[in-house]
């Protein structure tokens, strides 16, 4: 129960924080903030506490492999949004993610090979995303915009959690990386700011995901020999350092761009 409450609190909070960052520094910054594993990391921590370190380490490998499915999700949003409306775009992207996660959850590979697969997928996604795009200009947002985003994130958490409860370690790890916050950010961006701003958002997300990959790589490798506290502390320190460096560079770039 405590884990569910945590997820229902963290996911909406991330969506709201990323949305506010986007309003201050543009959609690239929103994508960078939205890529943080604020849902997946607590889920993995809960698995380690409830199911044991071996189970959680195996789930972390599933999370790393799921990065391939996340890359497919992002590319699908970027490509399909040129031809259909927001619901159809997100529906197609979720089909790609869930199909990829289901297939990859049956793959048995060591952590570093899973990391390599995720790295290649992120590189391919960065290459496959459409070029161009620009920040939305003069967008008027209603007062209910942020509350609706938070509610949508909470609803997605409930749906994904219900599916993950019946899954094994690899599929649990894959579903932990479900693009909940990314779906809300992309959906609202498409609906309110249009595809050009969403393309910038998508590139910001891809920029932030390598730190997520580092986090789960360290957890997968060190969880059993170092224990829960050591593994999560090391992973958090490395991931936050990398994310902070990228965030600072992103904000500087955004500040230098013409309004």
How many structural domains comprise the chain?
1
- pLDDT for residue 136 is more than 60: no
Max Cα–Cα distance, the chain, nearest Å: 53
Is residue 173 included in any domain, yes or no?
Answer: yes
Is residue 139 included in any domain, yes or no?
Answer: no
Nearby residues of 32 by Cβ (< 8 Å), 6 or more positions away: 21, 204, 205, 207, 208, 243, 246, 247, 250
Is residue 113 included in any domain, yes or no?
Answer: yes
Is residue 147 included in any domain, yes or no?
Answer: no
Span of 36-45, 151-160, 195-204 with lowest mean pLDDT:
151-160
Is residue 87 included in any domain, yes or no?
Answer: yes
Is residue 165 included in any domain, yes or no?
Answer: yes
> Pick the residue with more confidence: 111 or 17?
111
Q: What is the pLDDT of residue 248?
A: 81
Q: 156, 178, 167, 163: which is closest to 70 by C-alpha? A: 178
Q: What are the tens digits of pLDDT across the range 170-201?
A: 888 888 888 988 999 999 999 888 899 999 99
Q: 175, 195, 169: which is closest to 27 by C-alpha? A: 195
Is residue 235 included in any domain, yes or no?
Answer: yes
8 Å CB contact between 71 and 35: no
Span of 12-16, 33-37, 49-53, 134-138 with lowest mean pLDDT:
134-138
Is residue 11 included in any domain, yes or no?
Answer: no
- What range defines the domain where residue 252 resides? 2-6+26-131+156-256
């Amino acid at each position: 129960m405590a884990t569910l409450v945590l997820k229902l609190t963290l996911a909406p909070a991330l969506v709201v924080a990323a949305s506010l960052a986007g309003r201050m520094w543009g959609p690239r910054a929103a994508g960078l903030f939205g890529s943080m594993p604020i849902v997946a990391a607590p889920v993995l921590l809960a698995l380690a506490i409830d199911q044991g370190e071996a189970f959680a380490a195996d789930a972390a490998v599933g999370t790393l492999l799921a990065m391939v499915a996340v890359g497919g999700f992002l590319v699908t949003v970027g490509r399909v949004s040129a031809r259909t409306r927001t619901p159809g775009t997100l529906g197609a992207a979720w089909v790609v993610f869930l199909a990829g996660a289901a297939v990859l959850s049956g793959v048995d590979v060591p952590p570093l090979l899973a990391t390599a697969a995720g790295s290649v997928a992120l590189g391919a996604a960065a290459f496959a995303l459409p070029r161009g795009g620009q920040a939305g200009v003069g967008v008027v947002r209603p007062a209910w915009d942020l509350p609706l985003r938070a509610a949508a994130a909470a609803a997605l958490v409930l749906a994904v959690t219900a599916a993950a409860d019946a899954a094994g370690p690899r599929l649990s790890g894959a579903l932990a990386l479900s693009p909940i916050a990314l779906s809300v950010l992309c959906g609202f961006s498409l609906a309110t700011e249009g595809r050009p701003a969403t393309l910038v958002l998508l590139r910001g997300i891809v920029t932030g995901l390598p730190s997520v990959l580092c986090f789960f790589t360290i957890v997968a490798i060190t969880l059993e020999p170092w224990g829960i506290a050591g593994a999560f502390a090391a992973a958090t320190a490395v991931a936050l350092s990398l994310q902070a460096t990228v965030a600072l560079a992103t904000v500087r770039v955004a500040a230098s761009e013409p309004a």
